Homo-oligomer: A and B are copies of this chain.
Amino acid sequence: MTDQVISGTDLSRLRELNSLTVVRALRDQPPATVTELAKLTGLSRPAVDVIAQGLVTGGWATVVEPSGSSVVGRPARRYRFRATAGHVIGVDVGAHKILTLLADLDGNVVHTARCTVAADADPPSRLAALDAVLATCLSEAGKTEQDIWAVTIGVTGPVDASGKTTLFTPLPGWQTVDLAAHLSDRFTCPIVVENDCKLAALAERWQGAARDANDIVFLLAGLRIGAGLIIDGVLRRGYGGAAGEIGALKAVRWLTAPSHLGQCPGVPATVSPDDAAAWVFNAARDGNRDARSAVNRYVKDLAIGTAALVLALDPQVVVFGGGFSRSADLVLDPLRRELGRLCLRLPDVRASTLGADSVALGALRLALNEVDQRLFTLGLSAPVAPRR
């Protein structure tokens, strides 16, 4: 009777769905037995048994044979997601450095490569440095471009749908750079370009200071201040990719905030403008009165833009990240005080735990999301690098 409402197409769709359900369960778990997977997925034990064997044959899972002996019969074999079936790359193309992380499908970083770049490097020089560090990273990791399933690159400035930063970028000449097109000469897999603040926000929720939160305002604080917004658990890009750019509004004071540090009296002439802020934070920590006052003025201005975001979005957590987060010990308490004064509800204010690696780590996370999204919407085929 009941079988009459189930067509053959419905059945095949259900089986595909069930396979994906098991892959997803494996992806989020330590190695699991068929019984455990059945409980996790709500599928029957025999169904999971058939599916798991198929996933091993297909290259998506490996068998973990039981070790040692058991007093209560033969212990069950376990299945594990085969994280080394593919790899992803996350890159941070910054003003001063390029950082490349190569990871397996579980996000375990298997190799890191970095290089410095001059802040005034033109696009060809910066792209050449990127190409060189990617080549180094791949060869040192014993991989080729064909082993990579997704690449994500973080850049500064709002990134549009084509991966360009035409609205604004502090990198010289970068408005005209088509990074995805440049990289598509060597990689056949999906390539995503994303704003650095947004990626760092993703990283803090993945492995950093905001793992418990779904509503996060992330501040990338350095010589410039930017923001990345996670709302209801999802990174928000905005309609044109320019969400988080509140710092462009003079009234919220982020444009001038860092200058309080650079213009602090007493910074030695030998300290470069790029290092002045670090000098001031250290001097403030040592009790230098001018430096303490400069930090106070910095925090007061930082708090205006932050309060605007807090009042607009009412987040659970504000994460203070970026280069200046090394001096979070001087910033967090006065920032909380200012926000308490300016906001209706004070969120939890925390320091980044990922520091300078957050952008590249967030790029890895986005690359893994790209892999998962193809896996769970386009379905299972053999585990090989997807093509654009």
Which residues of A pack against B, CB within 8 Å? 2-7, 9-12, 14-15, 18, 43-44, 46-47, 50-51, 158, 167-168, 214-215, 227, 229, 231-232, 234, 236-249, 251-253, 304, 307-309, 311-316, 342-345, 347
Contact = CB atoms under 8 A, between A and B. Distances in A.
Given A240-B345, A344-B242, A14 B18 contact: no
Nearest to A308: B308
A345 B311 contact: no
A90 B15 CA distance: 43
Given A245-B314, A252-B252, 18 more contacts: A2-B11, A6-B11, A7-B43, A7-B44, A7-B47, A168-B344, A231-B231, A237-B314, A239-B347, A243-B312, A245-B311, A246-B312, A248-B344, A249-B308, A249-B311, A251-B251, A251-B307, A252-B308
A254 to B, nearest CB: 10
A242 B343 CA distance: 10
Given A232-B234, A308-B249, A312-B312, A345 B242 contact: yes
A1 B169 CA distance: 60
A314 B240 contact: yes
Q: How many copies does the complex hold?
A: 2
**Which of A44, A229, A234 gathers the greatest number of chain B CB atoms within 10 Å?**
A44
**Which of A247, A304, A308 gathers the greatest number of chain B CB atoms within 10 Å?**
A308
A238 B215 contact: yes
A248 B343 contact: yes
20 contacts: A2-B15, A3-B3, A5-B47, A5-B50, A7-B44, A10-B47, A167-B345, A215-B238, A229-B312, A242-B314, A243-B314, A245-B344, A246-B308, A247-B311, A248-B344, A249-B304, A249-B307, A249-B311, A308-B308, A308-B312
A311 B227 CA distance: 11
Contact of A236 (B46, B308, B313): B313
Contacts of A304: 249, 251
Contacts of A168: 344
Contacts of A245: 311-312, 314, 344
Contact of A4 (B46, B227, B239, B311): B46
A8 to B, nearest CB: 8
